[in-house]
Structure 1
């Protein structure tokens, strides 16, 4: 049995984390929650927002839809059942779909899977929002964008020749934001799960738009609601973010120990630039790629979908982790992905990845996405990604070579600890 098979078997044996409670509860109600295939969902989203066929450098003006912008108090309450949807990724029956999602090992590409989960999250937002005063056949005067990805966890490596079933629902709402819980199954086995925070914008993407309040109606829904509220509380004081949570005493001690281990002959000013056999510098692990996004990955405002950016971040991190480990690692966890700036279709996207922390067989990677304006070539950071990979054998320790890298090292350590302590 190879490493990938052993990993899948051990993870699957430890836990099955699919949403069996809500899934079977909703199915028992007798309603059809299927939205077809993921390709059909993409087309439905375009129809709902009134996207014209073909690419236009200047998107169709949607200012006329602002008159349908509702007030929060006019929106009816919705339940989780109202937004629960399923969709098929037909890997087993559609050769073209399979080729887009398969890697050279015959397994499903992790980046593509996250991209599909993000698209389903957008569709679930469409299914949750109900505007009673919107005339029939009028495009929805909303745009939904990914604000944050709390986490995406890969439970088992998915085979690329068997259909995947994606499902999800709204699990929490704010005034203009929605938390979406997504699950992926293959032949009733849980493959992956994710938590996405989406925000609703008005028709012209110039301000927030209100969303229907969520009211849990069943006991199982109330459990999901309380879990979502607990996640929101934790986000107000993020333990992994250094600018929100200062260094703890053990972390300050760790910084000093790192300094002592990596200093040169002059204890105050110099450090050795030479790597030793038992460790590597963080800077030496760097891998970068530059991408030119195309209109096929855009929304109705000609900005790039968050799923496209996440897919490419996962793939550059996989390359970086593979080079560092000297073998093919397994992606296990993605956490705290924040979208700081929209990426316009005319922009150039630069992704840079580093191995920032290691522990036995695990590697914690950080990827940074920068947007380069195609006209001025000014550069702005738009995303930061944190991913956990597992190698077949113990990996060499990675250490910081500057103060900035020490900060990355500590942030990476925090994310790895959060991965270990996840429920």
Structure 2
């Protein structure tokens, strides 16, 4: 099982922001067509009306269409998470002992009360409209919001939602939680065509959408207040795992029960995604050979590069408008510092997500000669944790193109400066679109051919083509 502690970056200002939350705010039907790409594509009944959720003592958006509520900002959420874990502010290479907290963990799931989706529902604000320092931190050179920063916040918020789901009656008051919440993977992040502004508040909301024995799937969505109306930006699915206090084995969490028919559909969607991931793992190109259709695709690409006048198979050339895959890549080396850590002295997963995204965007820009628009992020895998002070080598590779779209994969590796050894820690998949038809990438080796087929599989899945 792939695991890495990916909770939050420490140290942030905390305030609360009063907001009017319209009860009419709800998700809508979504469309994948490139010419009308303005909403999220529907994914296994994850589209629902947010008015069906309420949280005791936190936020209630039922009934009245204009309920005044005070929502904590993202800085306060980070401080609360730090308090839940029983950790003090400030960096120290030594972590306090947490082994004694294992006594509060259940041995069976039925020892814990069942939870509903409204129990974990929560919202938080990124107060860009009032915090000038945050505006600079979140702004791009184009005057837009850095999506990589939003990914960091989504990762933090997913951990917050997972903690909200967990309720352990055995835990005494004011005792740190015995649970460590880690990010296993990001199943998918879908983007609308709304371009977020760096001077308007952004609201994150989310809840648990599926729960296993020790895993919690959370759905997180972002909206920005534009002309006094909350407008959708993105929606993400995070799979979190609960671990024991020393992060050495799985910890049992509360079961999730649906409160109505709509929530039952959401829960069934989580089961469907679990089966899809299991099926994808079983059919991975790392385990089985490509199917007949995929073999034909690779052979066709091979034939396109042959010189018809040379029967030796030795001569190869690029078809018009194509580029060798090896020429469509970009590298970066990141030196991590304590400010990039989470609460467990590992590199914050959101930091890795931001670095990988920004490298993929630059790679797509250089390759296409246009500024690409992000459509989807899918199957972000966390294979290993990354120690603070690590040298992190990242490589962005364009592996597949079709019409106006590019599929880019980024591999993150920890580089050992002493031995030269490299260990893969993360894999990220991005789908971008550009205005013109993207050049075709051509693999030159069997290894690159497998990258091409894997990229095609990801592209077809996120675009709903297969």
The corresponding residue for 1:194 is 236
SS at match of 1:180: strand
Q: Is the 8 A contact 1:78 1:213 kept in 2?
A: yes
**Residue 307 (structure 1) aligned to one of 340, 350, 353:** 350
TM-score w.r.t. length of structure 1: 0.92
How far off its partner does 1:301 sit? Answer: 2.1
Where does the alignment leave 5 or more consecutive residues of structure 2 unmatched?
A: 1-32, 61-69
Task: For 2:406 and 2:40, locate their aligned partners in 1 and report how far apart those are by CA, in whole Å.
Answer: 21
The corresponding residue for 1:183 is 221
Where does the alignment leave 5 or more consecutive residues of structure 1 unmatched?
A: 1-6
1:48 aligns with 2:87: no
The corresponding residue for 2:200 is 162
Q: Is the 8 A contact 1:347 1:374 kept in 2?
A: no
Task: For 1:191 and 1:208, locate their aligned partners in 2 and report how far apart those are by CA, in whole Å.
Answer: 34
Deviations 1:308-341 (A, max 9, x none): 1111111000010000110111111111111111
**Residue 314 (structure 2) aligned to one of 270, 277, 282:** 270
Of the structure 1 ranges 175-184 and 53-62, higher mean CA displacement relative to structure 2 is found in 53-62
How far off its partner does 1:162 sit? Answer: 1.2
Q: Is the 8 A contact 2:41 2:190 kept in 1?
A: no
Of the structure 1 ranges 119-128 and 48-57, higher mean CA displacement relative to structure 2 is found in 48-57
Change (3 A) 1:242 1:19: closer
Deviations 1:218-250 (A, max 9, x none): 222112111111111111101883235642221
Task: For 1:357 and 1:15, locate their aligned partners in 2 and report how far apart those are by CA, in whole Å.
Answer: 21
The corresponding residue for 1:350 is 393
Deviations 1:385-405 (A, max 9, x none): 110111121221111111111
Which structure 2 residues correspond to residues 32-71 of structure 1 after superposition, within 5 A? 32=59, 36-71=72-107
Task: For 2:78 and 2:40, locate their aligned partners in 1 and report how far apart those are by CA, in whole Å.
Answer: 34
**Residue 26 (structure 1) aligned to one of 45, 53, 64:** 53
Q: Is the 8 A contact 1:339 1:383 kept in 2?
A: yes
Task: For 1:193 and 1:14, locate their aligned partners in 2 and report how far apart those are by CA, in whole Å.
Answer: 7
Deviations 1:180-213 (A, max 9, x none): 0111112322110011100011111111111111
Deviations 1:250-275 (A, max 9, x none): 11111111111224676566343x65
The corresponding residue for 1:134 is 171
Change (3 A) 1:354 1:395: same
* RMSD value, Cα: 2.5
How far off its partner does 1:27 sit? Answer: 4.5
Task: For 1:348 and 1:26, locate their aligned partners in 2 and report how far apart those are by CA, in whole Å.
Answer: 43
The corresponding residue for 2:463 is 420
TM-score w.r.t. length of structure 2: 0.83
Task: For 1:299 and 1:13, locate their aligned partners in 2 and report how far apart those are by CA, in whole Å.
Answer: 32
1:211 aligns with 2:253: yes
Q: Is the 8 A contact 1:346 1:373 kept in 2?
A: no
1:288 aligns with 2:331: yes
More helix by share: 1
Change (3 A) 1:271 1:312: farther
1:261 aligns with 2:304: yes
Task: For 1:237 and 1:307, locate their aligned partners in 2 and report how far apart those are by CA, in whole Å.
Answer: 27
